[in-house]
Amino acid sequence: MAAFRLTRDTILDGSLHASVRDILGPDVVFMTDDERRAEIEAMLERAPEPGRVWVFAFGSLIWNPAFHHVEQRVARVHGWHRQFCLWVRAGRGSPERPGLMLSLESGGSCRGVVYRLGPGTERTELDVLWRREMFTKSYRPVWVLAHTPEGPAPAIAFAANRDHDRYAPGLDADTVACHLAEAAGPLGRGCDYLFDTVAHLRQLGLRDRALEALEAKVRARRAAEQAPG
């Protein structure tokens, strides 16, 4: 059972960071407040359309964004695809049984959700988002153009930081399925991260064939492990 839920409150009160530090030890390096503020300012300075900021969600942000927004749309981003390529040794994994998280890798396209931040709230809400996604610096924020039924939206998305020690490129589907089937941590099971992503994409009318095939592998592996005898 998860020790706590990932919410706006547990992000802002330090519970998320504390749970990671409890597992990984006092030497784990977090992004400082000054680094976070500077990076957010740099992103806003590079905004394609100043004053119009969206966030692209491709994983757990789809069903649990935790930041405030004023509009939501389904969207497709070209030039990036969703992939399990970041190790998780806390959260939904442990040092002994690491899980994996989704990130964006270059190439292809990715369907998900975009959220529009309210005018004047960008810094406050991006601060929540950065505390959640960027505190270990395993992602790198990028501006993307999200194509929605109502028109294009300039959005911030999170791609893998290929220089980070959590980066796990080129894993085959069986390896990913093995880790997701076995991993668990204070935020829950690795398999549920996958299952929830697939389920919420389906609810939105979006299909990701690769994720659905991976879901089938993970469910089959868990069923085999739980079978008697």
Tens of pLDDT, residue by residue, the chain (229 residues): 446 789 999 999 999 999 899 999 988 889 999 999 999 999 999 999 999 999 999 999 999 999 999 999 999 999 999 999 999 999 899 999 999 999 999 999 999 999 999 999 999 999 999 999 999 999 999 999 999 999 999 999 999 999 999 999 999 999 999 999 999 999 999 999 999 999 999 999 999 999 999 999 999 999 988 877 5
Please indicate, yes or no, if residue 147 is contained in any of the structural domains.
Answer: yes
Please indicate, yes or no, if residue 2 is contained in any of the structural domains.
Answer: no
Residue type, 1: M
Please indicate, yes or no, if residue 165 is contained in any of the structural domains.
Answer: yes
Of 105, 125, 133, 182, which is the active-site residue? 133
Domain that holds residue 17: 8-226
Can you give the pTM of this predicted structure?
0.95
- The phi and psi torsions of 129 (rounded to 5 degrees) equal -65, -45
Give residue 51's region: left, alpha or beta (phi > 0; psi -120 to 50): left
Q: Are 191 and 171 in contact (CB under 8 A)?
A: no
Number of domains in the chain: 1
Please indicate, yes or no, if residue 98 is contained in any of the structural domains.
Answer: yes
d(CA 229, CA 223): 12
- 133 a catalytic residue: yes
| Nearest partner of 55 among 169, 134, 168, judged by Cα | 134
Which residue, chain included where needed, has tokens 């970041």?
86
DSSP states along 75-101: EEEEEEEEEEEEEESSSS--SSS-EEE
H or E element that contains 148: strand 139-148
Please indicate, yes or no, if residue 3 is contained in any of the structural domains.
Answer: no
H or E element that contains 170: none
User: The domain that contains 148 carries what CATH number?
Assistant: 3.10.490.10
d(CA 53, CA 68): 12
SS3 state of residue 45: helix
H or E element that contains 7: none
Please indicate, yes or no, if residue 1 is contained in any of the structural domains.
Answer: no
Please indicate, yes or no, if residue 164 is contained in any of the structural domains.
Answer: yes
- The phi and psi torsions of 41 (rounded to 5 degrees) equal -60, -40
d(CA 91, CA 192): 12
Please indicate, yes or no, if residue 188 is contained in any of the structural domains.
Answer: yes
